[in-house]
A and B are shown apart, each in its own frame.
Chain A
Amino acid sequence: MPDEVPIAETTNAVPVAPAVSVYPEPAQDRHRRDALALTIAAAAWFLPGLGHALLKMWGRALVCFSTVALLVILGAGMRGNIFSRNGEDAFAKLGYVADLGAGSFYFVAKALEPAGPDVSHANGDYGTRLLATAGVLNMLAALHAYEVARARKA
């Protein structure tokens, strides 16, 4: 009997299945999952936290909703600037995209600010940043929900 026995001959263990399935996913299933993921992303954008709620990730849904809501309430309370569609320069247009990221909360922010923005003080400027942050954060959360729905993230 030789001294060195090959490992394969010393064990009866069943080989571990590869992490990725060797069977390709049917195209129809993939399309359905992609469509569902897009719907979830749109829902997450429209109402912060809704995408994660649809995926039954309750903790994340609650945190997304409350953080975006808090930032919008603070930003509007500090009379930050809510950019409109007809911005004059590139920064105003970018600001509009960022603000619109908050979905329906964009209109909530407008409703919470009946006196309009006041950026003559630093306070209003901070409010503008908080409103933009709410939008960008919501877009990030929507992207996360989309990735989870496509089974790319846990």
Chain B
Amino acid sequence: MMHPHEFRLSHFQAMMTFALVISIAFGFLSRRGAYKRARYILWSFILFLLIGVGIGWAMYPFSH
């Protein structure tokens, strides 16, 4: 039974949230200036997603 204050995210939603939040934090901590930060955040976010999906596909044969 689901607790009233509990919420559920799918695996993909959790991965997206994680990637977005961490990319923003890394961008602000490691770069200065709006343009450089935006570029870093976008690049980091894309890489997080690509690597996450890539690792998922690489593990697919082991689940069967």
Contact = CB atoms under 8 A, between A and B. Distances in A.
Which among B3, B14, B25, B32 has the greatest number of chain A C-beta atoms within 10 A? B25
Contacts of B17: 74, 130
B47 interface: no
A130 B7 CA distance: 14
A89 to B, nearest CB: 24
Contacts of B8: 78, 121, 123
Contacts of B5: 77, 112, 114-115
B25 A67 contact: yes
Contacts of A60: 28-29
B38 interface: no
Nearest to A63: B28
Interface stretch (A7-15, A94-102, A133-141): A133-141
B22 A137 contact: yes
B29 A79 contact: no
Classify chain B's interface size.
10 to 19
Contacts of B21: 67, 70-71
Given A130-B14, A133-B18, A154-B32, A78 B6 contact: yes
B28 to A, nearest CB: 4
B6 A122 contact: no
Interface in A36-71: 59-60, 63-64, 67, 70-71
Contacts of A126: 9, 11, 14
B46 interface: no
Interface in A76-135: 77-79, 112, 114-115, 118, 121-123, 126, 129-130, 133
B49 interface: no
Contact of B25 (A63, A78, A122, A154): A63
Contact of A78 (B7, B28, B29): B7
Contacts of A114: 5
CB-CB nearest 10 A-B residue pairs:
A63-B28, A126-B14, A67-B25, A123-B8, A115-B3, A67-B21, A77-B7, A60-B28, A144-B29, A79-B6
